[in-house]
Amino acid sequence: MLTREETITYCKSFENVIEDYPFHDNNWTLMSHRENKKTFACIYEHQNNIWINVKCDPEWRDFWRSAFEAIVPAYHINKEH
C-alpha cells in the first residue's frame, strides 16, 4: 500500500470497520471495529511516508518485526501489542 487511501480502502474491506478522525488533525486516521469501537490501526503521514500502526497478538509481534525491516514498535502505542 502506497497511499493513505489504499490503506483505508484495505482496512474497510474487513467486516464492520469504521474510519474516524478524532484528533482534530486530518493527518491521523483511526480504523476501528463498529461494534466495540476498538481501534486496530492508526494511519498517518510522517517524514513524507504513510505510517500504519497496527495492533497484533504478542506471539506474532516478534515474527513480524524480524520478517520486515520496516516494522518497528509504535512510539505511542502499547509495545506489547
> What does the domain layout of the chain look like in residue ranges?
4-67
Q: How does residue 58 score in pLDDT terms, banded at 50, 70 and 90?
A: confident
* Strands lying side by side in the sheet with 39-46: 17-20, 29-33, 39-46, 49-54
* pTM listed for this prediction: 0.80
Tens of pLDDT along 31-48? 999 999 999 899 999 888
Contact indicator for 58, 73 with CB cutoff of 8 Å: no
